[in-house]
Every structure is written in C-alpha cells, then in structure tokens.
Amino acid sequence: MEILPAIDIRGGKCVRLRQGDYGQETVFGDDPTEMAQRWADGGASRLHLVDLDGAKAGKPVNQEVVRKIVQSVSIPCQMGGGIRDEASIQLMLDDVGIDRVIVGTQALKDPQWFKEMVQRYPNRLALGLDARDSKVATEGWLDVSETSAIDLAKEYVGVELAAVIYTNIANDGMMQGVDEGTIQDMIALAELGLPVIASGGVTTLKDVTRLAEVSRAQPKLVGAIIGRALYEGTIEVPAAITAAEG
C-alpha cells in the first residue's frame, strides 16, 4: 500500500482545510516546494497535490506552483482541483508534468465525457470520489448530489482508470481517524475491481496499520493519502511507509 503525502495549495501557500471548509484554513507553509522536498526526502514514492483555488474556480489556478513542485522532486505527483475539460488535462499532463490527473466534478456531471478521456489517457486519470454520507459531493465539495459514490464508480468498471481516490469529507482534516463505515465503502469499491486510494481522516499510525490490514485482504486498496497528520506531526512519512508495508 502506497503512502501519498498531501499538499493542498491555496493562494500559492501550503494549507489544510477542515472538512473542505474554505473558512477553516490553517497555513502550514509559504513554500509548497519545500514541503514536497521534505516528504520526498522522507521516502514518499508519490505526492498528492490539490489546487484548492482551482477546485473553486473550475479551472487550474496554481499550475505554476505545481510545476515548481514537479520540477523539484524526482517522484511522480498526482494532482486534482479544477480539472473539468480536456485542455486542463493536457496542460497538467503534457505541460506541467503531472503523472496522474484527478477528475471529480466533471466525471459526475458527464460520465460519458470522462470515459472518453480515460480511453484517450489510459492509466493517467483518477476518479476523485468525494463523499458525504456515501453521497458524491462536487464543486470543491460545496454541493452534495443524490448519487451514491458506489453507483458513480460502477460507471467506470472495466475502463483503464489509474485509481479511484475516495474521500469521506466528514473525516477530512478533522484528525479523528478513519471510521469503519468509510473502510466498508472502500472495500465495496475495491471489490468492483477498481484500484482505490483512501483519503481523509488518517490521523495516527493505527489508521495506517488498519488500512494496510484491509489492503492485504483486498489488494485493490492500493494507497492512502495523509495530510494534516503529517503537518501536525502525529505521523512521520518513514513510519507510515513501514506501517503500510506491514
């Protein structure tokens, strides 16, 4: 199971939100590039970048910061936030140098378009499934739909998705751990044959160990994203990697 340190970018700075609430922001650093190097030096094999301004604007905003991060580390980076058209996908993959682009809102609004994009860019696009009470949220988490996360994921069984990144918004940035309900949702996604990355709520090594246990039983749980816990020091990257390897 891969550990992916998260870098959330807003106004060019490295920040964390609570439950995706733009009014509850903590700034953890003025230079996201320094953070990226720190996590890479800790042994991370991939970084998870989020353009929070982009998620709200519906188009990439912090691409120059992202470009600097990509150039400063020798590991692949995946990125989401505001990717709603093919031009943005191309910009991030071909120009900025992102390894894997995450699409959320537009995949819910237009599944056919997203399937076409996945066919055009096989194994380079990830589905961002952000859920509240197992229902999909979009537009930078500002809207909650009536679509269940599992139902949306079923649309993409058999296509060459790089991953499904499943976030329980209620847990995100709250430092309260990963609950069993979320774990069951992720197992259900993995059982569809989709490679799943867990996101939101990973607070201590106990959470990493629990997810690693699930991953051993269900190998399609391929990764875990860790955000606030790294910034607040409740988890260190090398220890998380060791726990993930079980």
Convert the pLDDT of each residue in 84-105 to its tens digit: 999 999 999 999 999 999 999 8
Q: What SS3 class is residue 13?
A: strand
Residue 183 has what pLDDT?
A: 96
Residue 146 has what pLDDT?
A: 87
The pLDDT-based confidence of 142 (bands split at 50, 70, 90) is low
Question: From CA 164, how far away is CA 136, in angstroms rounded?
Answer: 13
Mean pLDDT, residues 141-153: 85
With CA atoms as reference, report the closest residue to 159 among 136, 192, 202: 192
Phi-psi region of 195 (alpha: psi -120 to 50; beta: other; left: phi over 0): beta
What amino acid positions are annotated as catalytic residues? 8, 130
The pLDDT-based confidence of 143 (bands split at 50, 70, 90) is confident
> Helix (H) and strand (E) counts for the chain?
11, 12
pTM over 0.85: yes
Residue 173 has what pLDDT?
A: 83
Q: Strand pairing of 2-10 and 13-18?
A: antiparallel
Q: Considering the chain, what is the average pLDDT of its residues?
A: 95
pLDDT at 179 > cutoff 80: yes
Domains of the chain: 2-245 (3.20.20.70)
